[in-house]
Amino acid sequence: MIIALGADHGGFELKEIIKKHLLENNYEIKDYGTDSAQSVDYPVYGFYVGEAIIKQEADLGIVVCGTGLGISIAANKVRGIRAAVCTNGYMARMAREHNNANILALGARVVGEGLALEIVDAFLQASFGGERHARRINLISEYEK
Ligand code: RB5
């Protein structure tokens, strides 16, 4: 599975930790930046990862900023993106099973490293439940058009 990663300066360090974790667990990574802790604008990286998913350059995305909020709001502006900010493993599993989220958003100033990796694993190991959930996702897609 190919995972697209993106972060602003607030999420850079956690993005690097997640990258290492994913590589150790045999995921393929595409890193859309940022590449340092120097201040940047989070929408840019939310758009990069959102567009990467829509262009099928990756299967799922993970974005990180200070809170996970700004970068998820930006990613969700890309048509077809369902980015979910998660603060625990249950939310991450539900984001995949019920919401078919294609991007996980994390707040580096909200969750510690251990919890972040637990959330990442829960997100990547879950899959969409379909059925009634598909009907609800379709309503969102129709509205988006
Ligand atoms: C940057 O300081 C911070 O605003 C950003 O990382 C994020 O938390 C925005 O939602």
Q: Which domain holds residue 85?
A: 2-144
Q: What local confidence, expressed as pLDDT, does residue 93 receive? A: 98
Pocket of ligand 1 (CB under 6 A): 8, 10, 42, 65-67, 69-70
pLDDT tens digit string along 73-132?
999 999 999 999 999 999 999 999 999 999 999 999 999 999 999 999 999 999 999 889
CA-closest residue to ligand 1 atom 7: 66
Ligand 1 atom closest to the Cα of residue 70 is 10
Helices (H), the chain: 12-24, 42-54, 69-75, 89-97, 113-125, 132-144
Per-residue pLDDT tens digits for 29-87: 999 999 999 999 999 999 999 999 999 999 999 999 999 999 999 999 999 999 999 99
Please report, for the domain that includes residue 113, its CATH number: 3.40.1400.10
Distance (angstroms) between ligand 1 centre and the Cα of 14 equals 14
User: Does pTM surpass 0.95?
Assistant: yes
Q: Are 8 and 34 in contact (CB under 8 A)?
A: yes
Counting the structural domains of the chain, the total is 1
Q: Which residues are catalytic?
A: 65, 98
**Measured distance CA(78)–CA(1) in Å, rounded:** 21
